[in-house]
Structure formats: structure tokens, C-alpha cells
Amino acid sequence: MGDNLRGEHKPNIILIIMDVQRASNMHCYGYEKETTPNIDRIAREGTIFLRCISPAVWTLPSHASIFTGRYVYGHGVGASYTYKPVERYTLTEILKAVGYKTVGFCNHGHWWARYGIRDDRGFDEFYGIKFSSEKEWIEVGSAKTIDLVINWIEKNKNNQPFFIFINCVEPHLPYIPPQEYIKKFLGDYSIEEVKKLQPNVWKVRMGIEKITRDRWEKLRALYDGETACLDERLGKLFTYLEESNLMDKTLLIITSDHGDEQGEHYPPHIGHQLHLYQPGIHVPLIVRYPDVFPQGEKVNELVQTLDIFPTILDLLSIKNIDIWKQNQGISLIPVVEGKMRRLFALAEHQKPLLSFERMLRIDPNYDFRKWNRWIKALIVGDYKYIWSSDGNDELYNLKEDPLEQNNLVDEEKDKVENMRKLLFKILNSLEHRDLGDFVQGDEENIRLLERLGYLRRSGVTTERVVMEGLTP
């Protein structure tokens, strides 16, 4: 299955990123609540990857991995370098070079513009979605994005193939879904009452703000409401694709950049960044394209979101050697065919300079040194090893302890040593990119971090890659 179909024609490609969507509260991943009926349908018609791990735990490095096919170790973008460099091929540039019309729709539009990863990275068109008020953001949200996507397809569907990138910010904090979803998942609470439940994640991490068990339960219910709301809005797009006879001509990929901690490791952890626990890195990955991905298939092998990059290259039979040299992922096609399996999953969080700067905004005298660590998580089989630069390593058996509550680092020292050696062996096998430090924020905070020796001014310059040998 698949080999004789690859490269014969170019399907449309739609990549949907559900920002901060963890896998654990989606019905198609075993959640008891009916949060995702529309996505469940796509999962039944496609292939669902049950053990997908994001290589990073916040937006910028996660997207960099998806669009370059590289680990954080490989592209160098993270909490100490908050800018996506341009010296590597991106998925969008490659698709544009082989004849795709490329367009992006992003509810994080201002964010993408700030970090320089818009039109100059291969998008023919890029739309940063803006909202006139908080009310429009809550009541309309990504519905506005989906309407724009449908309108764009309607105007361009005769100019196939196209690549569409869609970033929806539900269910990102603050968890404030429309009233009907508040009622369905939480009960009779007003919008104003829900707003008061929202935490300041930096104050929580710093110990300034506390969250009770009851408040956590309410926040989780609101997160379910956000997920269900986004599912309904995405359902409109799925229906349009079916009614327009485009669904089976389209490689549809639904995933997330990362998840959120919601009390599993509190205190001090909340949201994303500063940890690599499963709520932050276990994300959904659903692929629908019947010619290649079996309908109703549930894959229990480890995969990662950076594997999307080589999957598309494989599907389109792109043979450019330089692009494949860049790639550090594994195509999902031989995985579903049973011809290949990923032996490990790797996730990373760099030295958290961005977090230091955000904390200093709240309290210029805050002692952030306890957060001064960078971490790497390695998953092999049932075991997960978290290496920490401060020596406080962790080991979990995810099969027996999926919530990572029982650190086995002292009980299984041989396993820890073997996992640490394997981690170093893997890192030694990968091309590494050190971009120095570059963090945007309050200039006085940046100078303080530099004076204390935490921040290295980067001398890195970047150049555009010339796309050779990829004309349609």
C-alpha cells in the first residue's frame, strides 16, 4: 500500500495546529467526555497516532521542528533563542518550489510576524487573524479563521494543488469558551466568573498565586469546553471539504504544537514551558488521506510532530539530497506500513531565558536561579528519562505510571545510566545548531541577564537558502 501511489499526483495539503491541545482530553484518544465528535470522525476515516510526542513544550520551537523536520537540538530555536532562523529549508518553501500555492492562517498572527516566519518563509499569502474585541475573540475566535479558509479555498480550488497552514489558538489559556460550552462542561457560570478563574501562569510558577484543587477542576472543565468549541468550528471546514469533493484529494493533518500542565505536577508547574511532562508533550496526530493512510487505523508506535516534514517529502517523492540531509524525522508512511518504527522520542527545553525575563517583569527582584536548568526527555518503550542540567534527573514507567508521579531514579539506577548513555549517543549522532542567545523583552531585564552571565549575545547571521533543483 502506498508505494505505487507516491509522487503520481500532488494532493492538496491542509495542516491544522490546535494550539496547546493535549491528547488526553480528546474523545478519540480515550477521553470519556464527548469533546471532539468532528475530529473523531476524521480519526475513523484516517489514521490516528496514539503516541505522538512534540519535540518541544512551547510554540516557537515546536513549529520550527514541524516546518524543518529537526529536533530543537538541530534547529537551535528555544527559550534562549526566540527567533526562527532562515538558513534552513522550510516545508512551505519546499512545497512552493514544487508547484504548490501556499497560504497561512494564524490566530497568532502578531506573534508570527514578530518572529519573522511569515511570507518570506515560502508563503504566497499569510493572514494573521485579528479580533476587534475580547467579546469577538471569545464568541467567534477561530470560526473567523475557518470562514477565511473556506473563502480562500472557494476562490482557489481550481488552482490545485494548495498547501494551507491553519493555527487555531483555542484551547490556549485563558480558557474562556463561549457561554454554551461553559454551561455544557462547567455549569451555570457567567463569562465574568470564568474570567476570574483564569490564572497568571508566571505568578503561579513564582509562588505568588495559588490554585486550589476545586479551581483546577473548573479550569480543566473550561479547557474541555475550549476543545469542544474548536472541534465544532473545525467541523464546518470538514463538511465543506466533503461537499466540495475535496476531502479525498487532500492530505489532512491534525495535530498540536504542545499541551498544558493542569495540576498534575503543581506546585510549581502550570501551562507549558519549564517542564517536559506528558501533559505538555503528548499531543494528537491524525492523518487522513485514504490512498496512503489506512482508514480506522490506530498506530501505537512512537512518532513525533517533526515526522510530518519527511512524511510530506516521502508522499511527494521529493529526492533533493540537501533537504533529506536536513531532515531528522522519520516518514510516517513506512511506519503505518509496518516497515519502520521510531526507536525513541526526544523532547527538549533550552535554558529558559525567556521565562526569566517574564518573571522579572512581575518582580524585578525575583530570584529566578531555581529555574536555571535545561532539560531533555527521552522516551524508549515504556520508559521516560528526563535529563536535567542541575542533576535532578527523573525516570518514569509510563505504562504503570502515566501521570509521572513515581520517580524511579533511585530505584532503577541501571536503567537511568543506560538511558543517559543512549541520550548522549543520540545527541552525538545529530547535527547540532547553537544560535547563541536572543530574547526579546524589557531591555533592562535583558541587560541584567547579560551582566549575570546568563545571556550570550549572539553573533549569528542568517542567509536565505537558494532553492535549487526544485522547480515544478
- Residues 6+ positions from 15 with CB-CB distance below 8 Å: 66, 163, 164, 165, 166, 253, 255, 308
Strand order in the sheet with 345-349: 345-349, 375-380, 383-388, 394-397
Range 96-106 average pLDDT: 95
CA distances from 202 to 194, 207, 262, 379, 455 (A): 19, 9, 14, 28, 20
pLDDT digits (tens, 9 = 90+) for 305-330: 999 999 999 999 999 999 999 999 99
Share above pLDDT 70 across residues of the chain, in percent, rounded to a whole number = 92
Pairing of strands 101-106, 125-128: parallel
Look-up of cell digits 494532493: 11
Could you tell me the three cell numbers for 181?
460550552
Query: Which residues are registered as beta bridge partners of 227?
Result: none
| Rounded distance between C-alpha atoms, residue 383 and residue 111, angstroms | 35
Banded model confidence at residue 464, pLDDT cuts 50, 70, 90: very low
Give the 3-state secondary structure of the chain.
CCCCCCCCCCCEEEEEEECCCCHHHCHHHCCCCCCCHHHHHHHHHCEEEEEEECCCCCHHHHHHHHHHCCCHHHHCCECCECCCCCCCCCHHHHHHHCCCEEEEEECCHHHHHHCCCCHHHCCCEEEECCCCCHHHHHHCCHHHHHHHHHHHHHHHCCCCCEEEEEEECCCCCCCCCCHHHHHHHCCCCCHHHHHHHCCCHHHHHHCCCCCCHHHHHHHHHHHHHHHHHHHHHHHHHHHHHHHCCCHHHEEEEEECCCCCECCCCCCCCCECCCCCCHHHHEECEEEECCCCCCCCEEEEEEEEHHHHHHHHHHHCCCCCHHHHHHCCCCCHHHHHCCCCCCCCEEEEECCCHHHHHHHHHHCCCCCHHHHCCCEEEEEECCEEEEEECCCCCEEEECCCCCCCCCCCCCCCHHHHHHHHHHHHHHHHHCCCCCCCEECCCCHHHHHHHHHCCCCCECCCCCCCCCCCCCCC
Q: What nine digits make up the cell of 294?
A: 489506512
How open is the CA angle 7-8-13, to the nearest 5 degrees?
A: 65
Q: Is the CB of residue 375 less than 8 Å from the CB of residue 387?
A: yes
Position 456 scores a pLDDT of 85
Asked whether the predicted pLDDT for residue 110 surpasses 90, the reply is no
pLDDT in tens, 428-458: 999 999 888 988 899 999 999 999 999 987 5
Q: For residue 457, what pLDDT is reported?
A: 74
- The predicted-structure confidence for 146-183, as pLDDT tens digits, reads as follows 999 999 999 999 988 999 999 999 999 999 999 999 99
Q: What is the pLDDT of residue 331?
A: 98
Report pLDDT for 458.
58
- Band of pLDDT at residue 120, cut at 50, 70 and 90: low
pLDDT tens column, 238-266: 999 999 999 999 999 999 999 999 999 99
Residue 114's pLDDT is 53
pLDDT at 217 over 90: yes
| Confidence at residue 391, expressed as pLDDT on a 0 to 100 scale | 97
Is 27's pLDDT higher than 80? yes
Cis peptide bond prior to 55, omega within 30° of 0: no
State mean pLDDT over 14-31.
98
Q: How many CB atoms lie under 10 A from the CB of residue 118? A: 18
Q: Is the pLDDT of residue 6 over 60?
A: no
pLDDT digits (tens, 9 = 90+) for 259-311: 999 999 999 999 999 999 999 999 999 999 999 999 999 999 999 999 999 99
In this prediction, residue 204 carries a pLDDT of: 98
Is the pLDDT higher at 281 or at 78? 281
234 pLDDT higher than 60: yes
**pLDDT recorded at residue 86:** 64
338-391 tens-digit pLDDT: 999 999 999 999 989 999 999 999 999 999 999 999 999 999 999 999 999 999
Q: How far apart are CA 123 and CA 22, in angstroms?
A: 27
Section 125-136 average pLDDT? 91
Is the per-residue pLDDT at 468 higher than 90?
no
Of the pLDDT bands very low, low, confident and very high (cuts 50, 70, 90), residue 461 is: very low
Q: pLDDT tier at 469 (50, 70, 90 boundaries)?
A: very low
Separation between Cα atoms, residue 214 and residue 217, nearest integer Å: 5
Given a cut of 60, whether residue 119 has pLDDT beyond it is no
pLDDT at residue 347 in the model: 98
pLDDT of residue 460: 45
What pLDDT score does 463 carry?
Answer: 39
Neighbour count for residue 468 (Cβ, 10 Å): 9
